Structure 1
């Protein structure tokens, strides 16, 4: 990394002029599941593990394993968005990133929002690439795995999720479900990738219908033929993609928390359902399901200024890379500094965020 600072984002940030609202809607760009395999394989399209009916109370063992914090970064460190690009080319072959301003993970948006809110957080680094007009923000962690158990106790969340959900037929060996949505963040057109914990649909007596989910499940048959666009890293399947309206986030807590505690994660992923399991030392006694989509408008109104600041930061980062000739840059936020800043440095390494073949398919 070059030691020259080519741009510095300083707090407080001047907000952008445009309002930010989820009411403008979203479109599914792609989805995929990582397959448990020695080879790097994904199922396209993906489908989240489906919420099961369980009788409470239920005892769940404490998490005792090392799990990846980000499957894409762990498995494809050289090009963490490659699974997204391959899934997009297969599911949505007419889609082009030419009109996309920002491609980013949900986690990176949450960190940048915390910076805009002036919240103290750990140091972080993000990699910045420019492909035509599209700024690609790549998550960069010191370690892509975290130890669960021992002195770094992470609780019961992972095992609770496994107890509560099952992947559909043909996808039983999946390890995670990921999807990408296209939506507006003020004037910026964004494609945001995130993980979905579960597929949930209300029962008919709760005001919803399970027929559409049943139809989708009935078509979950794996296609043995690889198809023209398939490669060694992907397996095409014939299924109805899971509706975003069924996406759910699963959380665990010893005491009930307000859905507001999870809203940034839910809002950036346009995730309409929050499933919260309350437990005492791993014995889960209560399960609550909240329609969080109904709270999006109120949350974004309360945090409108911070969201507009976030849009401004994203625009600044893109402009910084442009002024560096579009070459690979690194942005770093240091926890220890007195003044909260994000400093952008030019990289000494000529990394590429998109394989050339996929760049030709997805950009004009």
Structure 2
């Protein structure tokens, strides 16, 4: 029986030679468009059609992310019953003192762990996390609630990069929700290669308060293009102390037998209970962990170092920009699981430089978000879908027939009432309860394709938290 690992630690074929990735031409064809399952998910009526070039006619002037703040977080536990821990905690960076050869990844990995764990309402856990973290959270001021995957897909389109995607849209109160959509909640990343899971198992540690965790999901809030945005994404880990800007730290070389034993055991452990629940009737919520500052969070990628070429960061900067993450680790292996080149960096200045180089594409992205939000709010049904099937055309459609809701009715009501002083924290003071819901860039840590020199390949920003980043299709912001 195949083991399903509920992690979005996936990846894409490495693209080379674009520096900071500025000014992609209209319209860049990078790969064969995906084939959405239109029989399983038929299209609704067309409302509006966009082309990338159309977005240049009336650009938003101020298209910068500002006032980024941590809002909430949660961990998915490895449990047969869908269970989250609030606020949870990401795994801590605990590098080995000496390199240890790791086993290659095996098993199958979900593109979207939130949908795989809770397919009926994958946005329910994140809303629980927000209202539990702040019972007086002012939802009425939130314009957009999205994940790194959906935003990454739209950013790619606005920059003129050809990649197919679909996601649902619903208006709840004053907030427009973007809900990631795969052909199936349990869709997995194909053709996994490399050490994108075994490496973090060996080099990061889940602390006791969140023991049994599989993934850490974070929600940040920031202003962008005149919109108040909540963004969910998966966090790869955290540092006790954030690295200084432009600092690079090599892997430690002192031998420690306990670390070697931990690496071997971690790489060999499988997680058979990490299985999607087909029809959940309750989401179990526990309380544990602690909040971690955003400046301590990092993203992690693994790559083969046999060709002695550095990772192409032009594929990484857009994801870091959307998630507002400054710390980046890239670990190079020798092809057989030995990591002797591990680089820990603060790339804040580089991400800012990328944003400057891509100012026009980011302005088109802000314009596109603004138009989608306006169309959604003015639509009578409040249930829409955004579709792009791999050409320079983005469609906004009504969802087919009755559509799919982002949240169950009771949680919709709770979100609409979540204003200053209206909703109180749910629960009886205990650290665990069940909530009946009535039915983050898959990340690119894996070597998914041995033809990694294809310079025409663009990452798939579909992980969310993560990771097919492309958190995360093949890439999830």
TM interval, short-chain normalised: 0.7 to 0.9
| Cα distance change of structure 1 residues 5 and 60 upon mapping to structure 2, 3 Å threshold | same
Task: Give the structure 1 partner of residue 293 of structure 2.
Answer: 243
Aligned counterparts of 1:74 and 1:262: Cα–Cα separation in 2: 25
Alignment of 1:177-216 (within 5 A): 177-202=216-241
Q: Do the aligned residues in 2 keep the contact of 1:129 with 1:327 (CA within 8 Å)?
A: yes
Task: Give the structure 1 partner of residue 81 of structure 2.
Answer: 39
Give the TM-score taking structure 2 as reference length: 0.66
Aligned counterparts of 1:292 and 1:203: Cα–Cα separation in 2: 12
Residue deviations 1:181-219, cap 9 Å, x none?
A: 0101121111000000111134899999xxxxxxxxxxx
Task: Give the structure 2 partner of residue 283 of structure 1.
Answer: 338
CA-CA distance at 1:105 after TM superposition = 0.6
When you count strand as a share of all residues, which structure comes out higher?
A: 1
Task: Give the structure 2 partner of residue 342 of structure 1.
Answer: 394
Quick check: 1:357 aligned with 2:410? Answer: yes
Residue deviations 1:14-37, cap 9 Å, x none?
A: 253232223x22122210000110
| Cα distance change of structure 1 residues 118 and 207 upon mapping to structure 2, 3 Å threshold | closer
When you count helix as a share of all residues, which structure comes out higher?
A: 1
Aligned counterparts of 1:54 and 1:3: Cα–Cα separation in 2: 52
Which one of the candidate residues 82, 86, 89 is aligned to 2:124?
A: 82
Which one of the candidate residues 82, 86, 96 is aligned to 1:54?
A: 96
| Cα distance change of structure 1 residues 294 and 333 upon mapping to structure 2, 3 Å threshold | same
Task: Give the structure 2 partner of residue 223 of structure 1.
Answer: none
Aligned counterparts of 1:304 and 1:206: Cα–Cα separation in 2: 23
Give the TM-score taking structure 1 as reference length: 0.85
Residue deviations 1:107-127, cap 9 Å, x none?
A: 111111111111122x21110
Aligned counterparts of 2:334 and 2:342: Cα–Cα separation in 1: 13
Aligned counterparts of 2:183 and 2:236: Cα–Cα separation in 1: 24
Aligned counterparts of 2:412 and 2:395: Cα–Cα separation in 1: 28
SS in 2 for 1:45: strand
CA-CA distance at 1:257 after TM superposition = 1.3
Q: Do the aligned residues in 1 keep the contact of 2:296 with 2:327 (CA within 8 Å)?
A: yes
SS in 2 for 1:28: strand
Alignment of 1:167-178 (within 5 A): 167-178=206-217
Q: Do the aligned residues in 2 keep the contact of 1:157 with 1:252 (CA within 8 Å)?
A: yes
CA-CA distance at 1:361 after TM superposition = 2.8
Q: Do the aligned residues in 2 keep the contact of 1:18 with 1:187 (CA within 8 Å)?
A: no
Tell which deviates more after alignment, 310-319 or 270-279. 310-319
Q: Do the aligned residues in 2 keep the contact of 1:46 with 1:242 (CA within 8 Å)?
A: no
Task: Give the structure 1 partner of residue 140 of structure 2.
Answer: 98
Which one of the candidate residues 260, 266, 271 is aligned to 2:320?
A: 266
| Cα distance change of structure 1 residues 206 and 190 upon mapping to structure 2, 3 Å threshold | closer
Aligned counterparts of 1:92 and 1:187: Cα–Cα separation in 2: 23
Q: Unaligned regions of 5+ residues in structure 2, if any?
A: 1-41, 248-281, 418-477
SS in 1 for 2:88: coil
Residue deviations 1:27-86, cap 9 Å, x none?
A: 222100001101110000010000113134321111111122221111222211100111
Which one of the candidate residues 145, 153, 175 is aligned to 1:111?
A: 153
CA-CA distance at 1:288 after TM superposition = 0.2
Quick check: 1:314 aligned with 2:369? Answer: yes
Aligned residue pairs total 334
CA-CA distance at 1:294 after TM superposition = 2.9
Q: Do the aligned residues in 2 keep the contact of 1:20 with 1:300 (CA within 8 Å)?
A: no
SS in 1 for 2:397: strand
Aligned counterparts of 2:201 and 2:343: Cα–Cα separation in 1: 17
CA-CA distance at 1:92 after TM superposition = 1.1
